[in-house]
Amino acid sequence: MKQELIDIINDQNTVTNGRFIDKPVVPYVEKILNFAILVTYHTQGQLAGFIAYYCNDIVSKIAFLTLLCVKPEFAGKGIGQHLLNCSIEDVKSKGFTSFHLEVSKDNQLAIHLYERAGFEVISSMDKLFLMKKDLSHEG
């Protein structure tokens, strides 16, 4: 699994000229495997995409989505939306009251996907938006 995650991230970094993940990939993947919740989507005998999120802050009850990634050859088939919905349901079921994420301002496709799932921009940094989905009023 570790190598598959590294490969999928490296592929995205190649496609985006290194703009996708701007930190060393191996320790980042190790951190995900050790501390995040990972949901994977397999099809045609291979890993097509995954979502990784942290549900560790049980005091604030804020969950954090660290990465959603679908292989380019499987893009546009609803896998990203499906993984995102799975994570939202899981975070809600664990009693978290909000779900946060950071996304590049130039990543229109991802921003659109997050907005449709009910996330909204709550602050703007240099190249990133911080987005939040409020779960406290959802059943």
Query: 90 CB contacts (<8 Å, ≥6 apart)?
Result: 37, 39, 55
- Residue 31 binds to ligand COA (criterion: CB under 6 A): no
Nearer to ligand COA, 95 or 112 (CB): 112
CB of 21 within 8 A of CB of 6? no
> At which residue do the structure tokens 């802050």 appear?
57
- Residue 10 binds to ligand COA (criterion: CB under 6 A): no
CB of 136 within 8 A of CB of 93? no
Q: Residue 12 is encoded by which pair of tokens?
A: 């995205």
- Residue 9 binds to ligand COA (criterion: CB under 6 A): no
Nearer to ligand COA, 58 or 73 (CB): 73
Report d(CA 47, CA 39) in Å as an integer. Answer: 11
**Which listed residue (29, 55, 91, 103) binds ligand COA by CB under 6 A?**
103
**SS3 assignment, position 97:** coil
Using CB under 6 A as the binding rule, the residues of this chain from 53 to 72 that contact ligand COA are 67-70
**Which listed residue (109, 120, 124, 138) binds ligand COA by CB under 6 A?**
109
- Residue 81 binds to ligand COA (criterion: CB under 6 A): yes
Q: With contacts defined by CB under 6 A, how many residues of the chain interact with ligand COA?
A: 17
